[in-house]
Structure 1
Amino acid sequence: MAYYIKKKLWQIDGLRPTPEKIYYRRRTVLKKLGIISGGLLGGSTLLSGCTQKPNREKSNPEQPGVISNHFNFDGMADLYPARRNEKYALDRPLTDEYHATHKNNFYEFISRQDPDIYNVYKFVSDFENRDWKIEVSGLADNTGTFYLEDLIKKMGLEERTYRFRCVERWSMAVPWTGFPLAKLIKYFAPKNEARFVAMVSYSNAEQMEGVRNLTHYPWPYSEGLTMEEATNELAFMATGLYGKPIPKQNGAPIRLVVPWKYGYKNIKSIVKITFTDQQPKTFWNQVAPTEYPFTSNVDPSVPHPRWSQAFEQMIPDGEKRPTLKYNGYEKLVAHLYT
């Protein structure tokens, strides 16, 4: 299927907005000049709080005095774009950013107003992700509740280009920004008896129409990996896309990327991580266990019960390509399944 996008006025060449990084950086310059947060305004608190926990209820930097529902922290704009890790170079061109951010299957945001389940980008404005925390529990030494801001600063960021394959056969190639899941797991120090990593997505019926209306689904969305899968070098926690913080419809502010598995394993908007010795229940496996097994590796020789997986169709033009075993990452992950 081909997808045709009509340009809007703000997409016309020559009418581009100021790049985000430059926009945010102007505040840093103004602070140094003493024009913001004291300085020439007569305040003496320009440097107050530097050694304290940042104020999590701060105003939106784009509109002073207005509380934003977008995840953000001081200095975040300077982290993007991150340096690209060339080890993960691709065999195909990157998907256009517009299409990668406007074809998203995120069931929490499916709306009765629009029958197209991929138009979730229209219905994410109420999603509150400003003050993001992740609860870590289970068989690990370092558990508790962690601010995502602190984790990002501790882990650091890099960019990786990965193939992305949906179970419904469409595929993309996108540049994710984030950090290795293995690095995060090491920080939480799981115990030897931990065999699985379970994850849970944010779920709020007031902010998410799909959660509110699709009451027959087992919310919140949940997924899991074996410890071996989770610590594989490919497993990635993404906080950005196309050199910018990740959009809400793509799983802001943090999501999992495991490029050798079908897309539904790549859980979005993560709020809980649990280390366990039992295989965790997962969302789609509970809905249709014969169609969505726990492992869910990309495999052209294993058809979905309702369609073949022998080929994929690239977004946006529908170009057909043969499906690659483990989505082309066989050398790095095949040993996990011997």
Structure 2
Amino acid sequence: MLIRRPDDISSSDITPEAVYQNRRAFIGTAGALALGGLVAPSALQAMRFDSGTAGAFPGLQADDKLTPEEDATSYNNYYEFGTGKDEPKDQAKNFKPMPWTVNVEGLVKKARPYSFDELVGKLPVQDRVYRHRCVEAWSMVIPWQGVQLKDVVARCEPLPGAKFVEFTTLYDPRRMPGQARAVLPWPYKEALRLDEANNPLALLATGMYGKALPNQNGAPLKLVVPWKYGFKGIKAIVKIKFTDKMPNTTWNDANPSEYGFYANVNPMVDHPRWSQAKERRIGQFLKIPTLPFNGYASQVASMYSGMDLRKYY
């Protein structure tokens, strides 16, 4: 595998920045959000998050602090633009995310191509600060802007037989040079059960840190499911398909012993090559305990009642 072990994170990757922003001012900028998560520069400058952030958003802990924007936008897993953490920012700089079309397919009343505006336009823009946990045992705390996935699902009107929703990333090796190498079976695919997609925490992100979503972070549409490991957060989505059968997903197909379909954060189930009991928060030195469902158990655990989470990892 080409994934770096947690201990391979260099000191330059964990150097903290004293730049935190205020939740109250951030929420107050919601009216300034344009489609795609844009914020006027004056509003962005007014934002800062302080210790009051924790508790204001579900799942955050008292000692959670925002990951510096520079770290969150320069330390990325995005193999379409290279396997190194620093490659996506450089390789994606000329990627043009607009105009954008998403094909909606499968067991759905409104199966057709949607423009970006048609798919997410006029839906309520959400401001969310979420913990993010990577399967490699590092983590971040990121402020997202976007629309609730359940609102997009409702707009598509799935048929009664739909049980799962599958997402596919753009496949275009000319624009995404990492796809010229067979490091994964392209195009990248991920999926959720429909009840997971309808959970209020699930987000289609269009922005972060009060700005439009950067190319290296998945512009123009990225899935954010904070109780799952980061590889579930598919980027640059061009297809949404509703189905009655569990879809194949890229990492599960590539290495099923290491990457399950559900990918719920579980400190009791180790990765075959390292423990998942602790994580290294980017911007901090000491490791911290990993929480079940990444701290979102009260919002999501009921969806998995009766399931053996060691088997269905």
TM-score (norm 2): 0.80
- 1:97 and 2:97 aligned: no
Deviations 1:50-89 (A, max 9, x none): xxxxxxxxxxxxxxxxxxxxxx9899556986x9994437
**TM-superposed deviation, 1:95:** 0.5
Q: CA RMSD in A?
A: 2.8
Contact 1:137–1:273, Cα closer than 8 Å, also in 2 = yes
Structure having greater relative contact order (Cα 8 Å, sep ≥ 6): 2
> What corresponds to 2:12 in structure 1?
4
Equivalence map 1:39-58=2 (5 Å): none
- 1:329 and 2:296 aligned: yes
AA aligned to 1:181 is L
Deviations 1:233-290 (A, max 9, x none): 1111100000110100001011000000000001111000000001111000111011
> What corresponds to 1:49 in structure 2?
none
AA aligned to 1:96 is P
**TM-superposed deviation, 1:117:** 3.7
Deviations 1:150-193 (A, max 9, x none): 33322131210000000000000000000110111011111110
Contact 1:89–1:161, Cα closer than 8 Å, also in 2 = no
Call closer, same or farther: CA 1:237–1:290 in 2, change over 3 Å: same
- What is the alpha-carbon distance in structure 2 between the residues aligned to residue 87 and residue 257 of structure 1? 15
- What is the alpha-carbon distance in structure 1 between the residues aligned to residue 153 and residue 235 of structure 2? 18
Equivalence map 1:191-202=2 (5 Å): 191-202=159-170
Call closer, same or farther: CA 1:190–1:206 in 2, change over 3 Å: same
Contact 1:106–1:118, Cα closer than 8 Å, also in 2 = no
- What is the alpha-carbon distance in structure 1 between the residues aligned to residue 65 and residue 86 of structure 2? 22
Call closer, same or farther: CA 1:217–1:233 in 2, change over 3 Å: same
Deviations 1:117-164 (A, max 9, x none): 443211112323121111101111122111112333221312100000
AA aligned to 1:104 is N
Equivalence map 1:1-338=2 (5 Å): 1=9, 3-4=11-12, 86-88=56-58, 90-91=60-61, 92-110=64-82, 116-212=84-180, 214-338=181-305
Higher gyration radius (CA)? 1
Contact 1:3–1:317, Cα closer than 8 Å, also in 2 = no
Equivalenced residues, count: 270
Contact 1:104–1:118, Cα closer than 8 Å, also in 2 = yes
AA aligned to 2:272 is P
Instruction: Provide the secondary structure at the position in 1 that maps to 2:65.
Output: coil
Call closer, same or farther: CA 1:142–1:78 in 2, change over 3 Å: farther
Structure 1 runs not aligned, ≥5 long: 8-71
Contact 2:162–2:194, Cα closer than 8 Å, also in 1 = yes
- What is the alpha-carbon distance in structure 1 between the residues aligned to residue 172 and residue 78 of structure 2? 13
Greater CA drift, 319-328 or 145-154: 145-154
Call closer, same or farther: CA 1:257–1:74 in 2, change over 3 Å: closer
> What corresponds to 1:16 in structure 2?
none
Structure 2 runs not aligned, ≥5 long: 1-8, 16-33, 48-52, 306-313
TM-score (norm 1): 0.74
Identity level (%): 42
AA aligned to 1:105 is N
Contact 1:127–1:207, Cα closer than 8 Å, also in 2 = yes
AA aligned to 1:194 is A
